[in-house]
């Protein structure tokens, strides 16, 4: 994580506490910042990749947008991941015990850090979650 940021510490705390869910079934992979995921390691191995990024286009800079605006941005994100030729899993991010609605997202398999940061910046996000070969999700602040 960056030492200097424009993001309010309360937002960073919320991002750190969020569950990043890959999938929408009873067999979802749930990522937590700083905690290795054995299930993600198995997914990486089966997919022949050693990294990936959890990305959203919802609520730029953490400011609530309309459902229509969020749906449109989510579709644009899907198109960008497809354009890059990457496999992805739709998911969502949410913090248990809060009123903030879950944000639909994608986990892009094989997406390296710099391109992941560029996508997050393009969609005006505060942060992304990136996972390297150690399978430990990292919160990457973008501003």
Place of tokens 């644009």: 76
Instruction: Give 66-117 as a DSSP string.
Output: -HHHHHHHHHHHHHHHHHTT--EEEEEEE-TTSSSPPEEEEEEET--HHHHH
Q: Say what the pLDDT of residue 16 is.
A: 95
The domain ranges of the chain are: 9-141
Task: Please tell me the pTM assigned to this model.
Answer: 0.92
pLDDT (tens digit, 9 = 90+) per residue, 32-87?
999 999 999 999 999 999 999 999 999 999 889 999 999 999 999 999 999 999 99
């Amino acid at each position: 994580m960056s030492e200097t940021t424009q993001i309010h510490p309360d937002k960073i705390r919320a991002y750190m506490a969020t569950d990043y869910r890959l999938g929408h079934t009873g067999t979802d992979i749930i990522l937590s910042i700083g905690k290795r995921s054995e299930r993600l390691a198995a997914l990486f191995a089966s997919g022949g990749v050693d990294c990936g990024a959890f990305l959203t286009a919802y609520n730029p800079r953490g400011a609530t947008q309309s459902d229509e605006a969020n749906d449109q941005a989510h579709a644009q994100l899907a198109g960008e991941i497809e354009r890059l030729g990457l496999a992805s899993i739709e998911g969502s991010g949410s913090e248990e015990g809060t009123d903030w609605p879950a944000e639909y997202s994608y986990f892009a398999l094989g997406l390296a850090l710099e391109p992941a940061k560029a996508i997050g910046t393009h969609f005006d996000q505060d942060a992304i979650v990136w996972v390297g070969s150690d399978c430990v999700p990292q919160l990457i602040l973008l501003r």
